[in-house]
């Protein structure tokens, strides 16, 4: 049976853990607010980029040609897996790894290589049967445009050089503080715009200078960067939301354990005091007798 000293030591340990998890919950909540703001800023920008490229496509008089549109027979593909750099965020990383493992089993007929974003993905997939050709970690849970451009450059160069025929992003789309959705999104090749819609062209009121084809080609690097930035900020927001919930649950459990241990300690202390009183009374009665 645990002594009073042991129970008191456990109470102090649980209190220390509770303070740590509470602090981590508050830090995650602060980071989540900033990440959520970045998501809200990025989504309209991405939507406007799609709309602008659509207008360019409908205003084009000829075929739009760009290396990012090249569709080849898929003999080799690249999957980009987004996880966190740190743990203590519930089932966030485990869900991503489970999804990518299931997806690769279904697509085992195509040679697949892996690029990881986040240290956890690298640690969990480095022994995978599929080769790990790139790792981009140490983000700190926030967007760094320099590293994002490095990632975009790495992937686009492999695609243009023919080292891979298709690139797919696996990330978590942020829905709310307590909800996120695992998605897989085709990154490259980009779906070629349909320029055959004459009705849309008639209703277009845009005048382009230089030609839509030249503008479209110039915007392609920005477009793939925007897609990557969107995936990154969505993943970071989901990570912070998951960590905030996990630390909140941990704080709640620690509080309940502390209360249980305190009750146990008080009962044991009360029993010890009662025992000491009985011994004193018995000794006094023995002296009187």
As given in the structure block, the two tokens for residue 277 are 């009183």
89 is catalytic: yes
Nearest to 164 by CA among 118, 137, 192, 130: 130
Residues 8, 17: Cα–Cα separation, whole Å: 14
Dihedral sign computed on CA atoms, order 162, 164, 170, 171: negative
Residue 222, judged by CB atoms within 10 A of its CB (0-12, 13-18, 19+), counts as: exposed
- Classify strands 166-176 and 179-188 as parallel, antiparallel or unpaired: antiparallel
Nearest to 50 by CA among 216, 170, 218: 216
Residues 6+ apart with CB under 8 A from 229: 42, 143, 145, 148
Q: Which of 57, 79, 89, 125 is catalytic?
A: 89
Cis check for the bond before 189: say yes or no (omega within 30 of 0): yes
The catalytic residue positions are 89
């Amino acid at each position: 049976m645990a002594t009073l000293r042991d129970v008191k030591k456990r109470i102090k340990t649980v209190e220390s853990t509770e303070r740590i998890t509470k602090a981590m919950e508050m830090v995650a909540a602060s980071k989540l607010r900033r990440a959520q703001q970045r998501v809200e800023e990025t989504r309209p920008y991405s939507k406007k980029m799609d709309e602008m490229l659509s207008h360019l496509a409908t205003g084009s008089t000829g075929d739009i040609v760009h290396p990012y549109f090249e569709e080849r027979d898929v003999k080799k593909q690249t999957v980009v897996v987004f996880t966190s750099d740190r743990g203590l965020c519930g089932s966030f990383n485990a869900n991503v790894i489970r999804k990518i493992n299931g997806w690769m089993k279904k697509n085992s007929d195509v040679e697949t290589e892996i690029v990881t974003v986040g240290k956890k993905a690298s640690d969990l997939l480095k022994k995978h049967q599929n080769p790990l050709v790139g790792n981009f970690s140490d983000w700190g849970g926030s967007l760094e445009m320099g590293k994002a451009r490095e990632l975009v450059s790495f992937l686009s160069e492999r695609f243009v050089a023919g080292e891979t025929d298709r690139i797919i992003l696996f990330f978590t789309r942020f829905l709310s503080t307590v909800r996120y959705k695992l998605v897989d999104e085709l990154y490259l090749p980009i779906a070629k715009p349909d320029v055959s819609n004459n009705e849309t062209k008639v209703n277009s009121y845009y005048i382009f200078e230089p030609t839509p084809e030249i503008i479209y080609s110039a915007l392609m690097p920005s477009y793939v960067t925007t897609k990557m930035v969107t995936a990154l900020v969505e993943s970071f927001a989901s990570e912070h939301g998951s960590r905030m919930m996990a630390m909140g649950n941990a704080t709640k459990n620690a509080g309940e354990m502390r209360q249980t241990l305190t009750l146990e300690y008080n009962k044991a202390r009360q029993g010890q005091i009662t025992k000491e009183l009985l011994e004193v009374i018995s000794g006094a009665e023995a002296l009187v007798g």
